[in-house]
Each structure stands twice: as C-alpha cells, then as structure tokens.
Structure 1
C-alpha cells in the first residue's frame, strides 16, 4: 500500500488562513476548507458581508459549518507524519555534523541533544532554530517550504503574537507595534500597516540617511580638528614671532635704561668730583690764611707784653697780612635733580617710542583677524543713508519710509553690521576722517533699539565716541575722558570674545586708544556705527568701513 505522502500532498491539509495543518476542518458551501476557529474569526472580523477568503464568494447569511470528517482524518495522518518526521530529525541529531559547534554568543540548534551546533536558520512557524542537518526537511518537504525562515535569532517567542499565537509578520505605523495577520482584521483594521520586510527596508534607509548625516558630522568635526590644529601651528609661529618682537623691544628698552642710568651716574659722579676739587681749593686757601693770621697773632702778643710806655709806642707791629672777605663764602653741594629730570624725560621719550613699537606689534597681530563688515539696512535709523555696497553711512535730511521692524533704531541714529559674532576674534577698521562726531564699537544682539538709549557695558554697549570735534570718551559707565595726542583718521576695533576684550586703536600712528577688559559676553556681538548729527554741515562726511585686507 502506498504511503500517505505518495499520493497526497501535505499542502492539501493546510488551512489557507493559518497555513498550518487543519484543526477541526470545516467546509464552506463553495467547497473550500478551513480550520473552524480560523474561518469563524475571519467572518467575525467582517461586519458587512460574509465571503470566502479564497474565491470571494459572498453569502447573505453566515452559513452553517460542519466538520469535514475526511479532511479531519487526512489532517490527523498529516500530523502523525509531521511528528514522525520530527522524531527522525531528533534521531538524526546523533549523526556526525560537519558544521561548527555552538560558541558563546551564537544561536544554538533547538533539535540537537548532545552536542549543540550553531543554527543556520530560525523558523517563525516552528518557532525553533535549526542547524544545517536539521534544516534539511525545510528545504526538501513541500509542507515545510511555506514556513518562513530567517537568519538565526534567540527568543523566537518574542516574534509570536501574544493575542493570536501567530507569527508576527506586520508592523502598525499608527501604533508603532508588531502584528500578526489576525491583528489587522480586528484592532488595527483602519490603521496603516506594512509588512515587516517593508518596515525593515524603510528603517534601513532611515538608518542609512542617519549614518550619512553622522558621517558628514564626523567629517565636519575632523575638518574643524584639522583647522584647529593648523590654527594652533600657525599660532605657535605667530607667538614665536611675537615673543621675538617683544624680546627685541624689551632688550632695546633695557639697553636704553641701562645706558641712561650709566650716563646719569657718570654725570653725577663728574659733578661730585668737580665739587670736591672746588672744596679742596677753598680749604687750601683758608688754611694758608689761618697760618698767616696765627703768625700775626703771635707778634701782637709779644708787643702786648712790653711794659715800657715809650717803648710800646715806639714799637711798630708788622704789616697785617692781606686776607679776603670770607663772610659770604658758602660751599653748596651740586644738586642733580635737574640732571635726573632731564634724563628721565629723555627716557620717557624713548619709552613712548618703544610703546609705539609694542602697540604696532599688537595691532599687526590683531589685523590677522580682520573680517568683512557690511551694514544691515534693516537696523538703520530712517534718517541714515547707506551706500549701495553697504560700506558707508551718513546722516540725511529726510526720513525714509521703512518698515518699523523690531530690529530698527527709532531714535538713536545708528546702524549695525549685518553679521554677528559669538566666538573667536574679529577686527575691522572704520575711516572717520573729516568728522566732528561719531560712535563706534560693538553691541549685543538684545540691546534696546527704541526710544532713549544709555550707552554703557551694562546695557550691552562697548563703544567710544567723538563729540564736538575734540571730546573723545569711552562709554564705560561712567564715561572715561580720552586724551589723544593725535586725532585719528581711521579707528581699528578689535574683539576677543572668549577673553572678554574690546579694544580701539588709532590706525595711522599705531597707538592704543582704549580697551574694555573683563567683559562677559553671552550673546552675539554686532559692530555698531553712528555718524553723529550733522551740526550745520560740519559733520557731513560719512563713516566708511575700510576694505578687509589682511596685513602682513
């Protein structure tokens, strides 16, 4: 007698809904067979009309279902065959395997008994993992070929729907949960669901995009690291040059001081020697006069001893030695205060010259941080006139019709630079030639731009100004009067954000004007310009931002 699987295919005894061997098989009026529980759940999930899942034939009323005894018997035989096959698979576990034995971290074969070998695949229907030998029935038997095989994984029970005890094959994007086929017929019927494979592909593409972004971020940071290292190397060279320049200046300064000191000592010692020689000459003259006077005193004493009146009168004393009038003689030590003062004055001139050299070195270093500044018309007071290239600003006579946005100055005739700075160093130069009033510096982004404005660091202003052609002040809160030897034609503005420093320089004579130090910057800083009031045409010249050319 032929065996069961020689004349019937295992596929004939599988429910088309659950894809498993029939359990309580029933037949529909159209002749198709299903598990009783499967078709009942299917029809319960359909609210409008009953239809066959295979041929889609509809029924006005839910048909009565009866058990198909023949299919039930065949399904029972199929299950016995399945159990027999599994038994053979267990027995075959004693066969010598040529594939590797399981090691920690790998998925073991669930059929192997003694030596557990590494699984090649996991089956989502059998909920088991199989090594190469035990996987053979899934490759050979038609019954198993419909099972879903995946790369070996642990905890297969996590891939089974807890509600319907079926393998998870779908993903609900609405609820971000995993589903089986029965889930979409009930709770997730109106939700957006896709297959696990599709969601996997989408996630992979998302991961690829994220990885590309991360790689780009890594590259950007590598580039920043490279730039920082290059900046550090260049900084070392700049520092070495600055040190060399400073050493040269200080060495020259020390030589100057030492030379001045030596010359001063020499002059003082020479004057002291001359004074000593003068004193010695006076002492010699006085000692000679003392000797002559003593001789005269002795003769007079002898004459005074004569008792004979006539003889005393007849005796004439020797002529009195000639002497100089010494009543007004005074010896005064030579004072060196004037000499010291003149020497120190010369030294001061030398120090000023060396300070100028130091300032020039400092300014030259700052000019390496020069930036291209342009004016922002959205911040300009309505009376200000900006050039087309946004590099010049002057006060006009007519207010222009501008939108009164929150960035525009409404009372202060000011305008800001277009770009702000929130780190590092930056430097720019502004021509102020021909002007009798102006305000220059930097301000923080959140400053008050409407109504009355008080300029000081507390209110976010780090600026200096000229008023009435000669009154220079730093708005340091309170104002600091600035004494400038020479009126600047161009002003350099330097900012070191991290160091909290804002410095101003006279570009022509390379001298320092004023510095705000110890500042705490927490916002973007913007260059600030005010050409001042016109003052009867005396202040009509514009403020001009100089071209951003790095100096050697």
Structure 2
C-alpha cells in the first residue's frame, strides 16, 4: 500500500514583529477605551450639571410659587374678611330693622288694646244715646299698617356669590399678571426663525424673507417633506431655551410646533411625540394638541398669534396664546436626544380660499 503525503507550507512571522503588531493593536484599543471612559466622564459631568440647573430652577420656581400663592391667599383672606364684615353689617341692619318693626307693632297693639277696651266698655253701656253717639268712631278700626308683605328674612346667597365673583375677578387679574410675566420670561429667548426651502412640500411657496408659507407649487428636493404640505425652519434648536411666534390663519387648517431632525419626511405619519412631533393644530375649526392621545384644547375665541417655547434640557414644549396672554398647552417630560426644528404645516382652507398662510413674527 502506497501512502500519499500532502506537504503543507506555513508562513512564519518573526516573534518580535508579531509582538510589536499586537502591542500596537493593544495601544489602539487602550486609546479607544480611554476615549470611551472620557466621554462617559463628560456625560456624568453633563448630567450633574443638568441636575444642578434643575435644582436651581426648582428652587427659583418654589420661591416664586410661594410668593404668588402667599399673595393669592392674602387676597382670599381679605375677600373672606370683607364678606364676613358685609354679612355681619347686613345682619346688624336686619336686627335694627326688626327692632323698629317690633316697636311699631307693639305701638299698634297698644293702640288696638286701648280701642278694644273702649269698644267693650261701650258695648256694655246702658246709655242708648251715648252708645249711638260714639258708635261711628269706635266701629272703624284705628289706622294701622298693612304688615302682610313685611318680613325680615334676608338672603346671603347673593352676597356670597357677589364676593366669589369679585374674588374670581381678582384671581383672574393676578393670573393675567403672572401670564404677562411668564410671557416676558419666555420672550427673552426669542430666536430668529426662517423657513428652509429645501424642506418645503411641493404645494408650498415661501416668501423671499423666509417668514411666510403659502399653498402653491414649487420644485422638488431630496430633503423635501412630501407626505403633507409642511416645511421646517432653517434654525435648529439643540440646547437651552428658544422662543418664536407665528401668526396663524383662523380659516386655515394648520399644524405648528417643533419636530426632531430624524422624522420621516416622505410618508404619511401620525403627528405625535412618539413619532418626533410636538405640535398643536387647527382642524375643522377645532384646536387640538397632537399628544398621545390627542387632547382637545379650549381657547377663548380663535387663536391669532401663537408663541412656541422650547426648553431643551427640561424637555418642555409650551404653546401660548398672545391675545390675551394665556398658556394653551405644554408637552412635559420630553426626552430630546437630537436636534429639533420648527415645524409648519398647512391644510386646506375651510372657506375654500387658497390665500391661506402662516407667518413667522419678527424676533424681539
């Protein structure tokens, strides 16, 4: 039997060369690990800093809250004291009126008793002429007051209701002052937002200054939103606080707010925070917040000018009605991990008018 042997060749690398190669790889690996460690240390410092900022904000808000509620409680206490004083004054007036009525009634009773005594005495008289002469004057009842409709039963319900209404007006005044102060706070973070033509839907056209969007026809772009007539702002919001205002059309269906950079711009998608949209809208003359689930909004009349405020670190997106100053809705507890962009979308006009638009107001 003949055995066949296959000769295999092996490539040999000098030990020192292999050592140096592996050492270099380990050095690279070590550098990568150190870089990862450094990034995580920086993240720890970032989180700690965020906690410090949050604590400062919480302390500040608590102090302001204590101040506001102290003023409100003092206002309520003053209103309560005024109400009690009003009721007590009214009760004193009622008691005085009752005393006067009682005195008058007792006076009439006294006079009636006197007349009763005279009538009884005359009725027992045997003097015929005397009875006939005095009969006309004694037959008629003495002049007295008609007490049928007289009462002393005051109602304090309207007094309380009036006091509550006045208190409500005072509280409303305080709330308006707070909202005005809040608006001044958020407006200091105003950013100059312009529309990005590269993201505009083909049915939209932008003004030359990039501040107004209307439903028209424009050319296509690879970055363009094609699933709905929408457009993004050029400026990204990726840290700190930002604020911008938009004039909205009361006859137009629209969506307004902010979106994350990675939204799908090419297909129909539900506008909601889980899909990267933090928006409110006007649809069929009804206002809604596109939350999970959507929330119907109660606003006074029609929105004309809407303020949008973003606090990136706090995960907050708030919408304000500027006429009068009022908070419309807030998305809270959001977790932002990428850039946000202002978002504007136009639907069909309720009155069939093609001249519907959204206009970004100039910064403060």
Query: Same fold, TM exceeding 0.5?
Result: yes
Query: Following the alignment from structure 2 to structure 1, what is the Cα–Cα distance between the partners of residues 208 and 30?
Result: 45
Query: Following the alignment from structure 1 to structure 2, what is the Cα–Cα distance between the partners of residues 188 and 357?
Result: 90
Deviations 1:228-253 (A, max 9, x none): 33333333322222111111110010
Q: Which moved more, 1:238-247 or 1:284-293?
A: 238-247
Q: Residues 257 and 308 of structure 2 are in contact (CA less than 8 Å); yes or no, is this contact kept in structure 1?
A: no
1:129-140 mapped onto 2 (5 Å cutoff):
none
Is structure 2 residue 175 aligned with structure 1 residue 355? yes
Query: Following the alignment from structure 2 to structure 1, what is the Cα–Cα distance between the partners of residues 52 and 63?
Result: 17
Is structure 2 residue 30 aligned with structure 1 residue 216? no
Q: Residues 383 and 400 of structure 1 are in contact (CA less than 8 Å); yes or no, is this contact kept in structure 2?
A: no
Quickly say closer, same or farther: Cα 1:306–1:367, change in 2 above 3 A: closer
More helix per residue:
2
Quickly say closer, same or farther: Cα 1:281–1:508, change in 2 above 3 A: closer
Deviations 1:460-518 (A, max 9, x none): 654222468x754434566624323674434214477987x653223575420123568
- 2:71 pairs, out of 230, 252, 256, with 252
Equivalent residue pairs, number = 354
Q: Residues 473 and 481 of structure 1 are in contact (CA less than 8 Å); yes or no, is this contact kept in structure 2?
A: yes
Deviations 1:120-140 (A, max 9, x none): xxxxxxxxxxxxxxxxxxxxx
Q: What corresponds to 2:267 in structure 1?
A: 450
Is structure 2 residue 212 aligned with structure 1 residue 397? no
Q: Residues 299 and 317 of structure 1 are in contact (CA less than 8 Å); yes or no, is this contact kept in structure 2?
A: no
1:57-136 mapped onto 2 (5 Å cutoff):
none
Is structure 2 residue 170 aligned with structure 1 residue 344? no
- 1:539 pairs, out of 344, 356, 362, with 356
1:482-501 mapped onto 2 (5 Å cutoff):
482-484=298-300, 487-494=303-310
Deviations 1:363-396 (A, max 9, x none): 677779988977665543123345789x645135
Quickly say closer, same or farther: Cα 1:510–1:216, change in 2 above 3 A: farther
Deviations 1:137-191 (A, max 9, x none): xxxxxxxxxxxxxxxxxxxxxxxxxxxxxxxxxxxxxxxxxxxxxxxxx6452x5
Is structure 2 residue 217 aligned with structure 1 residue 433? no
Query: Following the alignment from structure 2 to structure 1, what is the Cα–Cα distance between the partners of residues 40 and 192?
Result: 25
TM superposition shift of 1:325: 2.9
Query: Following the alignment from structure 2 to structure 1, what is the Cα–Cα distance between the partners of residues 55 and 333?
Result: 25
Quickly say closer, same or farther: Cα 1:449–1:339, change in 2 above 3 A: farther
Quickly say closer, same or farther: Cα 1:397–1:370, change in 2 above 3 A: closer
Is structure 2 residue 330 aligned with structure 1 residue 511? no
Q: What corresponds to 2:148 in structure 1?
A: 328
Give the 3-state SS of the residue equivalent to 2:247 in structure 1: coil
Query: Following the alignment from structure 1 to structure 2, what is the Cα–Cα distance between the partners of residues 373 and 426?
Result: 16
Higher relative contact order (CA 8 A, sep 6+): 2
1:249-398 mapped onto 2 (5 Å cutoff):
249-307=68-126, 309=128, 312-313=131-132, 322-359=142-179, 379-385=199-205, 392=211, 394-395=213-214, 397-398=216-217
Quickly say closer, same or farther: Cα 1:362–1:324, change in 2 above 3 A: same
Q: Which moved more, 1:530-539 or 1:244-253?
A: 530-539
Give the 3-state SS of the residue equivalent to 1:542 in structure 2: strand
Give the 3-state SS of the residue equivalent to 1:297 in structure 2: helix
Query: Following the alignment from structure 1 to structure 2, what is the Cα–Cα distance between the partners of residues 194 and 364?
Result: 74
Query: Following the alignment from structure 2 to structure 1, what is the Cα–Cα distance between the partners of residues 278 and 159?
Result: 44
CA RMSD across the alignment: 4.4
Quickly say closer, same or farther: Cα 1:355–1:268, change in 2 above 3 A: same
Query: Following the alignment from structure 1 to structure 2, what is the Cα–Cα distance between the partners of residues 449 and 482?
Result: 32
Query: Following the alignment from structure 2 to structure 1, what is the Cα–Cα distance between the partners of residues 192 and 28?
Result: 36
Quickly say closer, same or farther: Cα 1:385–1:207, change in 2 above 3 A: farther
Quickly say closer, same or farther: Cα 1:458–1:218, change in 2 above 3 A: closer
- 1:474 pairs, out of 274, 289, 296, with 289
- Structure 2 segments unaligned to the other structure (5+ residues): none
Q: What corresponds to 1:168 in structure 2?
A: none
TM superposition shift of 1:289: 0.9
Quickly say closer, same or farther: Cα 1:443–1:512, change in 2 above 3 A: same
Query: What is the TM-score of this pair, normalised by structure 1?
Result: 0.53
TM superposition shift of 1:431: 3.0
Q: Residues 205 and 218 of structure 2 are in contact (CA less than 8 Å); yes or no, is this contact kept in structure 1?
A: no
Give the 3-state SS of the residue equivalent to 2:13 in structure 1: strand
Query: Following the alignment from structure 1 to structure 2, what is the Cα–Cα distance between the partners of residues 228 and 502?
Result: 20
Give the 3-state SS of the residue equivalent to 1:335 in structure 2: coil
Quickly say closer, same or farther: Cα 1:201–1:372, change in 2 above 3 A: farther
Query: Following the alignment from structure 1 to structure 2, what is the Cα–Cα distance between the partners of residues 540 and 446?
Result: 23
TM superposition shift of 1:330: 1.4
Quickly say closer, same or farther: Cα 1:315–1:440, change in 2 above 3 A: closer
- Structure 1 segments unaligned to the other structure (5+ residues): 1-44, 48-185
Deviations 1:190-215 (A, max 9, x none): x5x42222222122112222222222
Query: Following the alignment from structure 2 to structure 1, what is the Cα–Cα distance between the partners of residues 318 and 271?
Result: 16
Query: What is the TM-score of this pair, normalised by structure 2?
Result: 0.75
Quickly say closer, same or farther: Cα 1:310–1:484, change in 2 above 3 A: closer
TM superposition shift of 1:258: 0.5
